[in-house]
Amino acid sequence: MKFGYRCIILTEESTFRMVLKKGSVVVMDAFYRETWAEIDVEAIFQNVNHVRELIPVHKTLMAVVKANAYGHGDKEVAEIALQAGADMLAVAFLDEAIALRKKGIKESILVLGAVPTLHIQTALEWDVTVTAYSKAWIEEVASILGENSQLHMHLKIDTGMGRLGVRTKEELHETMKIIASHSGFVLDGVFTHFATADELNSSYFEEQYTFFEEMVRIVKEYNFTPPMIHCANSAALLRRPKDIFNGVRLGISMYGLSPSEELKEVLPIPLKQAFSLHSRIVHVKKVKKGSHISYGATYEAKEDEWIATIPVGYADGWIRKLSNFEVLVDGVKVPIVGRICMDQLMIKLPKMYKMGTKVTFIGNQKGAEITIDEVAKHLETINYEIPCMVAARVPRVYTRDSQHIDVNNYILR
């Protein structure tokens, strides 16, 4: 596969030494710390490509890159997804859409969340498609939208999620009357969001689906045939690829993660996790039995122990609740000991390791693995949250075939 990166990694040392070609400018030392996340662009490409092959060719594939592409990097993932067969993009709010525009993304972008009417003109200026989600919102926009303006929008139907959306048939009729009477509204889509698509019990899903069909029929009564009608997130499109109308929203599974533990065994396509997190040992010491480690002196060495310091902390997103979790060193799982600090944490080693030894928090190392799902289970949360919580101060390094091809250091960019 060909990707749009123009950079070469020279070596992988204790600190990354890179030559990044930006036109004729060469920039050395893309980042200076010993902690980084790696994003496997080939994994993202294949995940999108598998979905593209799963759904009929005439159906629109929307790649969801909100929240900095679930922590993977918005521009980078957007470009990969579009190359792999995505037709358009989706984000959560207007700032995210503008950020993509400023980074050179020209394809259609839908804001899934609420855009305050105060900022509709800004959406028009940046050629961003917005979500219409209530009669009141439509009325207010209609009062400020010029007849010569063309506001592209998707109408959100609340079929049972309880978030944004027109909720009743009566409100939909009133909303559609306003849309039909104003030439500035361009209705590009109608959509809803399922609350339980990631569960094997499909009874509530069926209720929502049936109600959405009824609401779509009302929209068509006003002589509208939106080019995109979409209800399927990752869970719905993977479970029922034939019941997705004419468009899908690919989110969590683009990044190689199952929408839920329940669905892992019934996924129709292979998914490959794209995100990993690494650091290096910056200090090693042998402490005596009875020594205490970190804040609160909560950990006491039960014998003479090798303790290593790693420059990762809760300010990087590795929160204190992970203080009793494990990391990989030389392909072996070793425990985090003591409380995780803001910028550092300590691990107990089975033997002496030299400074600069690689430590893996998420990912593979010499045949051993720590998955995002394992971290999520330990934190009693969902896999969506894990890459999102890794802070922007952690550089993202993009890899293909295990080779580093690009880097995004948010602090220095």
pLDDT in tens, 380-392: 999 999 999 999 9
Q: Reply yes or no on whether the pLDDT at 9 is more than 90.
A: no
pLDDT tier at 23, thresholds 50, 70, 90:
very low
Mean pLDDT of the chain: 92
CA 156 centroid distance within chain: 21
Mean pLDDT (whole number) for 194-223: 95
Residue that terminates a domain, selected from 266, 294, 316: 266
Q: Are strands 130-132 and 151-156 parallel, antiparallel or unpaired?
A: parallel
3 has pLDDT over 70? no
* 289: pLDDT strictly greater than 90: yes
- Identify whether residues 141 and 96 lie together within a single domain: yes
Same domain, 261 and 145: yes
Asked whether residue 235 falls in the same domain as residue 340, the answer is: no
User: Pick from 221, 249, 266: which residue ends a domain?
Assistant: 266
Contact predicate 3/42, CB 8 Å: no
Domain assignment present for residue 116? The answer is yes
Cβ(407)–Cβ(30) below 8 Å = yes
| Tens digits of residue pLDDT in 226-281 | 999 999 899 988 888 777 799 999 999 999 999 999 898 889 999 999 999 999 99
State phi, psi for 325 to the nearest 5 degrees.
-95, -170
Together in a domain, 244 and 337: no
* Number of structural domains in the chain: 2
Residue 236, in any domain of the structure: yes
> For residue 116, what is the domain's CATH number?
3.20.20.10
Q: What is the mean pLDDT of residues 52-56?
A: 91
> Is there a contact between 337 and 294 (Cβ–Cβ < 8 Å)?
yes
Residue 216's pLDDT band (boundaries 50, 70, 90)? very high
- Which phi and psi angles does 308 have, rounded to 5°? -115, 145
Residue 413 is predicted with a pLDDT of 81
- Note whether 58 and 160 are same-domain residues: yes
Quick one: 254 and 284 in the same domain?
A: no
What is the residue range of 286's domain? 275-370
pLDDT at 241: 78
Q: Are residues 253 and 308 in the same domain?
A: no
Read off the pTM.
0.91
Give the mean pLDDT of 14-40.
65
Q: Is residue 362 part of a domain?
A: yes
Active site residues: 66, 295
399 occurs within a structural domain: no
Question: Are residues 331 and 206 part of one domain?
Answer: no
Q: C-alpha dihedral over 368, 369, 374, 378, to 10 degrees?
A: 60
Classify residue 240: in a domain, yes or no: yes
Q: Are residues 142 and 109 in the same domain?
A: yes
pLDDT at 7 over 60: no
Look up residue 257 and give its two tokens: 């993660």
For residue 220, the surrounding DSSP H or E stretch is helix 203-221
Residue labelled with tokens 């970190």: 294
Q: Are strands 25-28 and 185-191 parallel, antiparallel or unpaired?
A: unpaired
What are the pLDDT digits (tens) for 322-374? Answer: 999 999 999 999 999 999 999 999 999 999 999 999 999 999 999 999 999 99
Name the band, by pLDDT with cuts 50, 70 and 90, for residue 29.
Answer: low
Q: Give the range among 5-14, 176-185, 222-231 with minimum mean pLDDT.
A: 5-14
Question: Do 218 and 140 have their domain in common?
Answer: yes
Give the tens place of pLDDT for each residue, 86-117: 999 999 999 999 999 999 999 999 999 999 99
**Does residue 387 lie in a domain region?**
no
Supply the pLDDT for residue 402: 86
The residues with which 333 forms a beta bridge, in sequence order, are: 328
Assess contact for 293 and 337: CB atoms under 8 A. yes
Confidence at residue 296, expressed as pLDDT on a 0 to 100 scale: 97
Q: Please check whether residue 345 lies inside any domain of the structure.
A: yes
- The top-scoring range by mean pLDDT among 8-22, 26-40, 110-124, 224-238 is 110-124
Report the alpha-carbon distance of residue 383 to residue 271 in Å, rounded: 14
**Which of these three, 217, 235, 266, is where a domain ends?**
266
- Say which residue, 24 or 362, is predicted with more confidence: 362
Same domain, 246 and 347: no
**pLDDT for position 19:** 44
| Whether residue 286 sits in one domain with residue 238 | no
Instruction: Say what the pLDDT of residue 258 is.
Output: 95
Q: Evaluate whether residue 379 is within a structural domain.
A: no
Look up the CATH number of the domain holding residue 340: 2.40.37.10
